[in-house]
Amino acid sequence: MKPFTPADDATASIAATTLTANAAIKQQPTGAHQIRLYNAGASTVFWALGPSGVTAALTDIPLPAGAIEVITLANGVANPATHVAAITASGSATLYVSTGLGL
């Protein structure tokens, strides 16, 4: 396994609250690549991937406070995931989304 290597100027942030919000994934290549999710807040963030109108729900994937997760996107030309959405059950958190390669 290679360590995660972020792309230059490739971090977006989402101010997650009890209302869904989203941000574009930066420096997004076609094909397999990784994104690193970091929850810099005190509340669990629930997140989802999708097109520009994607929304998050409390039934989506949870990311606990302080946690970091690296996931692989295998974006093709048709219907790529271009945005990440986030929401909290209570409180707020900042979710950082960084594009790169490696795990």
CATH of the domain at 15: 2.60.120
| pTM attached to this predicted model | 0.92
* Residue 91, pLDDT above cutoff 70: yes
Strands 83-88 and 21-24: antiparallel
Task: Please report the pLDDT score of residue 1 as a whole number.
Answer: 66
Query: What gap in Å lies between CA 68 and CA 83, rounded to an integer?
Result: 18
Task: Please report the pLDDT score of residue 32 as a whole number.
Answer: 82
Per-residue pLDDT reduced to its tens digit, 71-84:
998 877 677 889 99
Residue 11 contacts residue 84 (beta carbons within 8 Å): no
Residue type, 59: T
DSSP string, 51-89: STT----TTSEEE-TT-EEEEEEEE-SSS---EEEEEES
Number of domains in the chain: 1
Print the domain residue range for 25.
Answer: 5-101
For the CA atoms of 89, 94, 23, 29, the dihedral, rounded to the nearest 10 degrees, stands at: -120
